[in-house]
Amino acid sequence: MIYLDYSATTPVNDSVLDTFVNVTKNFIGNPNSLHKLGVEAKQLIDASTNQISELLNISPKEIIYTSGASEANNTAIKGICYRYKNRGKHIITTKLEHSSVIATLQYLQADGYDIDFVKTDIYGRVDLDDLKSLIRDDTILVTIASVNSEVGVIQPIEEIGKLLKNYPKIYFHSDMTQSIGKININIENVDLISFSAQKIYGLKGIGCLIKKEKIVLDALIHGGKSTTIYRSGTPAVGLIASLAKSLRLALENLNQKYDYVSSLNKYLRDKISKNNNIHINSNKYSIPHILNISILGIKPETILHALEEKNIFISTQTACASKSDSSIAVYEVTKNEEYSKYSIRISLSHLTKKEDLDTFYDVLDNTIKELNKLNESH
């Protein structure tokens, strides 16, 4: 099997899975219980939280565990908007956001919130002047993903954060699901950050919202205090310990892994750029882990299934937006309808082997030739 869909989800690391199994078996108490078993479970959660906070250079109090990045995005956006609605109801975002951000914003729109989309440049990067011009007295939130999941464009998060520091009543949220554990990123001026374990070789069902200490949110899930008042429910000890482990492993040798993935990206790009049937949509600001391409005239699903038959796995659009047949993100970056209609995403990892890319490319090239031949004969 050749798996090239790491941006959709990653296979779980064996030692992360071992941590989950061991903790789940051996720490059976409810961390909220006062007896010894509860205390032991609570201590393990605290140790995991401390580890995460050290790895990300934040306070342990800033960590809210969620079921994943979608819940973290919902918690951050709705939490800010409901809490500070008396200050204003204006939100600024981009067209490059994950569906869990767009859907949350549309839900709020029905409740009277006004949403503006900031312009992006020819590379799909936020236009800082336009962002500044959109800011109003009633703006309460700016939500911009650090890396787009389809084309991989990295946003100037540090510059956006610095700009927004001039507006103390505006909170800055960033969905960092596609960047944490893949690239170095400065989170100093970001108020709220979402990410999940399943994108960094952890388990599905656990994510995290980092919320700067001074910020108060309206909670979405009410109940007991749990690990935080912002998200009630019995803490998932095993998942929390596994998240800490997956984050530690993801950040280990990060630069080395980044360089390796960059070399893979360049290798594949060089091959693909010689093929006249393929257009590369990812650009110089894209993370090397994502290579978005378009094969004009051939439906992305046809390519996906043809590759699937050879046990090669790529993706068309992000899984959460699979009902629409053209990629909004690819259009936003390329401004070309054809490229957005025929786009596919190849996502790479430090686990990807160069020879897998050779096989992938040969199969893709043959598939295109065969499908084009079929088209011509019809």
Residue 272 C-beta: closest distance to other proteins, Å: 26
By beta-carbon proximity to other proteins, the closer residue of 105 and 153 is 105
By beta-carbon proximity to other proteins, the closer residue of 106 and 253 is 106
Query: Residue count at the site for other proteins (CB under 8 A)?
Result: 19
Given the residues 221, 304, 320, 363, the one annotated as active site = 320
189: Cβ contacts below 8 Å, ≥ 6 apart = 158, 161, 162, 164, 165, 172
- Check the CA dihedral 240-242-51-44 and report its sign: positive
- Is residue 326 involved in binding other proteins (CB under 8 A)? yes
Residue type, 44: L
Residue 101 C-beta: closest distance to other proteins, Å: 9
Residue 118 C-beta: closest distance to other proteins, Å: 12
- Residues 88/115, Cβ–Cβ less than 8 Å: no
> What HEC string does 104-150 produce?
HHHHHHCCCCEEEECCECCCCCECHHHHHHHCCCCEEEEECCCECCC
Asked if 81 is an active-site residue, the reply is no
By beta-carbon proximity to other proteins, the closer residue of 217 and 328 is 328
- Is residue 325 involved in binding other proteins (CB under 8 A)? yes
211: left (phi over 0), alpha (psi -120 to 50) or beta: beta
- 301-322: string of b/e by CB count within 10 Å (b at 16+)? eebbebbeebebbbbbbbeebe
Residue 112 C-beta: closest distance to other proteins, Å: 10
Q: Which position among 304, 320, 351, 363 is part of the footprint of other proteins (CB under 8 A)?
A: 320
Residue 342 C-beta: closest distance to other proteins, Å: 13
By beta-carbon proximity to other proteins, the closer residue of 13 and 143 is 143
Residue 327 C-beta: closest distance to other proteins, Å: 11
- Segment contacting other proteins by CB under 8 A, of 8-16, 21-29, 170-178, 319-327: 319-327
Residues 60 to 99: which contact other proteins by CB under 8 A?
Answer: 95, 97, 99
By beta-carbon proximity to other proteins, the closer residue of 95 and 271 is 95
By beta-carbon proximity to other proteins, the closer residue of 89 and 182 is 89
Place of tokens 């006062």: 34
- Is residue 105 involved in binding other proteins (CB under 8 A)? yes
Strand partners, 139: 90
Place of tokens 């499908």: 371
Residue 236 C-beta: closest distance to other proteins, Å: 26
Q: Which position among 17, 103, 134, 351 is part of the footprint of other proteins (CB under 8 A)?
A: 103
> Within a 13 Å sphere around the CA of 374, how many CA atoms are in the beta-carbon half?
9
Distance CA(254)–CA(16), nearest Å, equals 17
Residue 125 C-beta: closest distance to other proteins, Å: 17
- 282-295: string of b/e by CB count within 10 Å (b at 16+)? bbebbbbbbbbbbb
By beta-carbon proximity to other proteins, the closer residue of 140 and 264 is 140
- Residues 210/54, Cβ–Cβ less than 8 Å: no
Residue type, 336: N
By beta-carbon proximity to other proteins, the closer residue of 225 and 323 is 323
- Is residue 220 involved in binding other proteins (CB under 8 A)? no
Distances (CA, A) of 323 to 116, 209, 316, 343: 24, 28, 11, 14
Residues 107 to 166: which contact other proteins by CB under 8 A?
Answer: 107, 109, 114-115, 117
Distance CA(268)–CA(196), nearest Å, equals 28
- Is residue 328 involved in binding other proteins (CB under 8 A)? yes
DSSP H or E stretch at residue 75: helix 69-83
Q: Which position among 22, 106, 273, 311 is part of the footprint of other proteins (CB under 8 A)?
A: 106
Q: Which position among 184, 255, 276, 324 is part of the footprint of other proteins (CB under 8 A)?
A: 324
Residues in the chain: 378
Give the active site residues: 320
Residues that bind other proteins (CB under 8 A): 95, 97, 99, 102-103, 105-107, 109, 114-115, 117, 320-321, 323-326, 328
